[in-house]
Amino acid sequence: MNSGRHQKGAGRLFSHRFRDRCVPFSIGAFRATSLKGWRPGAAFLRGRAQEVVVINGRPPAGGASRVTRALAFLTVFLVGLTVAPVARADPIFITGGQIVVGPGLNGPGTIGLIGTRDFSVTGQLSGAGRVDARECFPCEPGTAISLGTVWTGFDLLATVAALEGTLYTQVGGANSPNQLLVQTAGATVAPAFGTSNQVTLTAPFSFEGLFTHAPDVTGPTATETLFGSGLATLSLVRLPGDGTVPDLWQYGSVRFDFASTAAPVPEPASLVLLGSGLALIARKTLRRASK
């Protein structure tokens, strides 16, 4: 599938957005899109798409047999999740560490995170990453300030990651198979002025990311999903007015401290319920297709 394109007649298009990047999923024609081949800067996270199953409620050429095979595979796959051991497909929950963005509108930062599955990442962040709080330059009391940030690709400097005992010494850049995309989300409000010329605000934040890795440049890649949350600390500096222009706030720095509590993993019973529901849908769809 080419970046920014989707085939006509593929049904409704849904996207899960990572800010400026998104992964397309098609409903009407089931489309399974892998993240192989993703490179930073792509408008879409590219991958090979395979289209099967039912298009707008009708089986494709070939009759109900193709529908039967596809739906059977989907059902067996989901039910298999309930009996398979926890493996590489498990998401990584960030359980500690910090992302720190230095002072100034182009100030660099640092990243140091640890998580489940023996995951860790350390490195430098360039000043070119997206930091929404820098838009407070300046801003008035009562202004909503986003705590959204995004870093990927060339935003990562001297970044090293580890996962389940394997060390990845080159993460980011143009030619590395190992890539990291991280983003935070949250918000706070610029306060009223007091006696201090600097104020520190705290607010909860959420975190999402992707880690794509390969043993070497020519080897196959795998993509891990990252999740986390914690407490953000935003520093604002007071800009005194001149009698005509009022006092204003200006961005100083921001730090994201990750909480140690990982989000719960779905219980096997929940997966059984999901598999049973999809099996029922499969049977009903097959009956309609055979008529």
Task: Please tell me the distance from the alpha carbon of residue 39 to that of residue 44, in angstroms, as a whole number.
Answer: 9
Distance CA 30, CA 52 (A): 6
3-class secondary-structure state, position 164:
coil
156-202 pLDDT per residue, tens: 998 999 999 999 988 998 888 999 999 999 999 999 999 999 999 99
How far is 141 from 150, CA to CA, in rounded Å?
A: 25
CA–CA gap between residue 107 and residue 250 (Å, rounded):
14
Quote the tokens at residue 124: 């430098």
Ranges of each domain in the chain: 11-86+267-290, 92-258
Q: Bigger pLDDT: 44 or 200?
A: 200
pLDDT confidence of residue 257: 99
What kind and span of H or E run contains 268? helix 268-290
SS3 label, residue 148: coil
- What does the pLDDT average to over 137-151? 96
DSSP string, 44-77: B----EEE-S-BTTB--TTTHHHHHHHHHHHHHH
Q: Which tokens in the block code for residue 197?
A: 């010329």
Query: Is the full-model pTM beyond 0.85?
Result: no
Q: Which of 77-81, 151-155, 201-205, 237-241 is least confident?
A: 77-81
Count Cα atoms within 13 angstroms, Cβ side, for 41: 7
